[in-house]
Structure 1
Amino acid sequence: MRELNKRALERRGGILGSANDQSNPKQGPQVLNALMTLENCDTMITPPCLQALYNAPPGSMSMKNNTLGVVEYTPQAFLQSDLDMYFKQFEPRLDGVSPNTNLIDGASIQTKNQSFSFNGESALDLEFAMTLIFPQQVTLYQVGDLVNGGSFNNFLDAIDGSYCTFEGGDSKDPSVDGQYPDSLPGGFTGAQNCGGFASTNVISTSYGSNEADLTAKYEQRQCLEYMKLGLQGVSILYSSGDFGVAGNGGQCIDPVTGAYNNGTNGLFNPSFPGTCPYVTSVGATQIVNGSTVRTPESASERVIFSGGGFSNVFAMPSYQQKAQATYFAEHAPAFGADRFNNSQKVRGYPDVSANGVNYVTAVDGKFSLAFGTSASTPTFASLLNMINEQRLNAKKASIGFVNPVLYANPQVLNDVTNGGNQGCGTAGFNSTVGWDPVTGFCISS
């Protein structure tokens, strides 16, 4: 891993993909019997549970140039033996199949470090995405070498060569973006990848930072690239975070010093890139204990809390104006500017939510439960991918940036009105009728 100063590492909550990256999924108990029955979906989420929850049919087509993009950051890596273990249980036709793998900036599928901390994210993302969209394939973008690491910008460089030089490129913040060739011993000595790989129509990323980790200028530059990709027909999805209104690791912001604290008080800590208006931010829901796939879900309050709130950097997009006006007029939160940007002029997140609790995942040779918006994001991405399959089959274009359509047609999504996203010593926001900064609009049954 590249050398970061102590303050930068603390603010980031762990380098992307590292074992201490707080945006990684959270591990639950081991599962002795990974059952496919719908009767157990309140305690074990499997692909059949998700298909039943969201009335989603199994994948049926494999349209040319419509693989689902999943982004991972080294040293996070999948083990083929884990994929095979999972597929034998849930989709035998995938046994022995690997994702289409693109290695960016010296990336590798490392096998030296094996634990949930190193394999859990990749296993969760790939096992569910590959199963849900089969026979369509998944394209894995593995980013960064084992020494220097990688960033969201390094990935964007690889799928759009012009971004490498846009507004000065990545060299202005070497503490965040991997610099290639890597001068550190053992690092990747090749040139920075600029436009070496094509983008898929849907890209799912289950990692995130805090807005406060980065400068506004850095975030605004990156956000413009997401706008460009959206205009080109690419749907960009990021997880909204797992700590409610707090940032990665449950940290909140001291209102006087601006430093992170232990999370028992302070300012809410919004996530990035989910607060970029050109990204679809995905929160998390859960099936209530004792309920079924036909019972309305609630906001996730088991192990994780759906990340949500309001940006301190980005203005409210026009597509969100009506939803926010209704939210503040009818469901105004009990706290104000002492906790969050309540100007009613900034971007709110998440946009949508899907189940993110109790995912049965094969990691390091055993089944265990996984929790996080790391789970809900590839699930929602899989649904978008299958919509694109139908559109392409009908000779139509891919859906691209989906937020304006979702906000203009909330009736196509069911509402989640229970639960909250506590943090920073508060109850956080509450799930309400319509859009809210806990679950956004939901695809609940």
Structure 2
Amino acid sequence: MLMMRSFIFLLCVISGYAGASLLRLESSLDLSQWNQGHEANAHQLLQVSIALTIQNADLGVETLLRISDPASPNCGQYLSAEDVAHMFKPKPNAVSDVIKWLGESGIDQSHVKFSYGGDRLSLNLSVQEATLFLETTFYHQTHQETGQEQITCQYYHIPESLVRSIDYILAASPVPTHQQIPRQQVVLNNKVTALAPLPPKCLTQTTLVCLRKLYGIPDDVLPHPNNSFGIFEPSWISWLPDDLDRFFDKMQKNLVGHRPKVDAVNGGYLQRNQTGWMFNQEPNLDFEYAMALTSPQEVINVQVGSYEQVGNLDDMLAAFDKYYCGSINPGDKKYPDFYPPGCNATACDCGSSSPPKVLSISWGWTEAGFTSNHLQRQCLEFLKLGLMGTTVIVSVSDHGTASGRGSFCIDDRTGNATGGRFSPTFPSSCPWVTSVGGTQMPQPTDLRTLAATTNETAFRKELSKQILSSGGGFSNVFLAPPYQVPNVALYKDIEKDHLDEIQDRFNSTGRGYPDVAVRADDYMIVSNGEWKPVSGTSASNPVFASIITLINSERMHAGKGPVGFINPVLYSSPYILNDVVTGANQGCGVDQAFRATRGWDAVTGLGSPDYELMRQLFINLP
């Protein structure tokens, strides 16, 4: 399931019901920003992955909610990877039925490989073979903004009798485009500012001291040897050693000379040849603050991908869980220049890494850019991590109710627009991650009132004639999970008149996000040798992840396990967070879209963290 490839890819998703003969299905991949070119070369190599419909998805949800419920006797009783794989076996006869179809289609079954969990088949085909197999045509396409290339089909055929056995089919062409990388969410303020003497003016800039004071974050928590904290970064996105040291020299002197522990997945390429915000700003921000806030906790850099091929979340998930992998033997393949799922030119990592107890992901994608089946399956992998005791923390976008590069909104006529229906982001819209929005401090005009102003407001900032605001809203794919239904219902009741005015813009039954919020404005970082203020929810994310990491260490020293999936605890005990009741996000032509109010809201979630209240609650859980 190559969810986040930033190289050439093909995506086709299966949906429908059993019947007779062949069924023509339209690809749900959003192609509105792509220019179609010539037909793909018949000899272009594709890797076809057939995801089988798995069993017990409902049981997985039920189990996760039970072991995450603070009132349940099963709270904290996590599953092993083997137990999780056994729970999600494919439907009976799915494998044999698909294998029979492949044989009848003239495909050499000796080239078919199975994932460890048995829920995915993969095989290597040329475009010519895939064209005959799926009865379709593949075209080269070029993205209008980025120049990124892809090969895709607009339709394909499968036997109607297999619709209940196949979740989706995906094929990918491994052409490297390492210059095309996902756009970071953090936004650079080009104004270079010298760091103010400590203590800084915490209402005009964010520093380590400000965060500790604002949220009560301690600086003396002893790490536990079984604790772990990881941050995802794709290849080519790399921190700079000198930048870390300059930041630590001013902010956390004991860390000078210290580096993240690199967990190299599929090469784990740390580039040092090119500098600039596009390559260095996000990881510098992540590791400067995460390492300093959790010091002396070791922080893991989950660096995914090689020089030739940028990594993605799928590669990371495959490294964490061998049952998620496809074939992993690069020596046993039909085409010498093709690398199977989880592999590239330098490595093939499948089940090679242990998932950290806390995983921070400051990256996001447009939910509308992928099919519902595909997103549901990807989201299920985060549920599996929760079942095994990992807390997955994901930032929302900085485009308010829009998403992705270019502030994508949904227009039924053109597919995308600067106005239209709101466009949620993924994976922050997945119900099984903890989604982090942004806040900022209010800016009174009377400087004498600055010291007395402590309440946060929703993040909203104008920069270079562009308005940035915390992402938030309701998913178009995922329903509201049980743990948040009462909170969301209260929000809709409080904001009924306003929400009625924009009801055609969002899915009122969807999963609401974010879950929590953290300050997002004007973080002082060192990047490319200079102190700079940067803003965005990808700054908020590692801060919240650091807080959970510290709480995990305190629990472990008390003889307990990690907190795992924390959303049910947060929603059942919102008093442990600072309610944010002012501000709003904007986007898609709406100046005030979702407004902050008492309780949960679709811009700041349940509010910002109060470390001591959170610690007291979590330390007393089983």
What TM-score does the superposition give when structure 1 sets the normalisation length?
Answer: 0.90
Indicate whether 1:212 and 2:363 are aligned: no
2:270 maps to which residue? 109
Contact 1:12 1:209 in 2 (8 A): no
Which residue matches 2:556?
A: 392
SS at 2:501's partner residue?
coil
- Residue 199 of structure 1 deviates from its aligned partner by 1.0
The one of 282, 298, 314 equivalent to 2:457 is: 298
Correspondence 1:3-402 to 2 at 5 A = 3=8, 7=34, 10=143, 21-35=182-196, 37-165=198-326, 180=339, 188-257=344-413, 259-261=415-417, 263=418, 265-290=419-444, 291-292=450-451, 295-303=454-462, 304-332=468-496, 333-342=499-508, 345-402=509-566
TM-fit CA distance, 1:411: 0.7
Query: What is the DSSP-based 3-state SS (H/G/I as helix, E as strand, rest coil) of the residue aligned with 2:488?
Result: helix
The DSSP-based 3-state class of the residue aligned with 2:578 is coil
Give the AA of the match of 2:339.
Y
Q: Name the CA distance, whole Å, in 1 between partners of 2:545 and 2:314.
A: 21
Distance 1:293 1:39 in 2: 15
Whether contact under 8 Å (1:252, 1:266) holds in the other structure is: no
Q: Is the 8 A contact 1:356 1:373 kept in 2?
A: yes
Q: Name the residue aligned to 1:173.
A: none
Q: 2: CA distance between counterparts of 1:360 and 1:207?
A: 20
- Contact 2:221/2:554, CA 8 A, preserved across alignment: no
**8 Å contact kept, 1:18–1:118:** no
Over 3 Å counting, the alpha-carbon distance change for 1:416 and 1:397 in structure 2 is same
Conserved in 2, the CA contact under 8 Å of 1:297 and 1:444? no
After TM superposition, give the deviation of residue 419 of structure 1 in Å: 0.9
Q: Percent identity?
A: 37
Counterpart secondary structure, 1:441: coil
Unaligned runs of at least 5 residues, structure 2: 1-5, 11-32, 35-140, 149-176, 329-337, 445-449, 463-467, 611-622
Instruction: Measure, in 1, the Cα distance between the counterparts of 2:599 and 2:475.
Output: 19
Give the superposition deviation at 1:37: 2.8
Instruction: Tell which structure's C-alpha radius of gyration is larger.
Output: 2
Give, as a single letter, the amino acid of the residue that structure 1 aligns with 2:183.
Q
Q: Is the 8 A contact 1:41 1:292 kept in 2?
A: no
Q: 2:220 & 2:146 partners in 1: Cα distance?
A: 36
Change beyond 3 A, Cα 1:129–1:223 = same
How far the C-alpha of 1:363 sits from its partner, in A, is 0.3
Instruction: Tell me by how many angstroms 1:444 deviates.
Output: 5.7
Amino acid at match of 1:440: G
Between the aligned partners of 1:429 and 1:377, the Cα distance in structure 2 is 20
TM-superposed CA distance for 1:104, in Å, is 0.9
Number of residue pairs matched by the alignment: 427
Q: Which has the higher contact order (CA 8 A, sep 6+)?
A: 1
Q: Which whole-Å CA distance do the structure 1 matches of 2:265 and 2:604 have between them?
A: 33
Deviation at 1:400, TM superposition (A): 0.2
Render the CA deviation track for 1:152-183: whole Å, top value 9, x for unaligned: 11111111111114xx99xxxxxxxxx8359x
CA contact (8 A) 2:306 2:346 kept: no
* Distance change >3 Å, CA 151–CA 409, structure 1 → 2: same
Aligned to 1:431: 596
Between 147-156 and 327-336, the greater mean CA deviation after superposition:
327-336
- Is there any run of 5+ residues in structure 1 with no aligned partner, and where? 170-178
Is contact 1:13–1:248 with CA below 8 Å preserved after alignment?
A: no
Query: In the alignment, is the contact (CA less than 8 A) between 1:251 and 1:260 conserved in 2?
Result: no
Change in CA separation of 1:18 and 1:192 when aligned onto 2, cut-off 3 Å: same
The offset of 1:248, in angstroms, is: 1.4
C-alpha change, 1:203 and 1:297, in structure 2 (3 Å) is same
Q: CA 1:44–1:392 in 2, change beyond 3 Å: closer, same or farther?
A: same
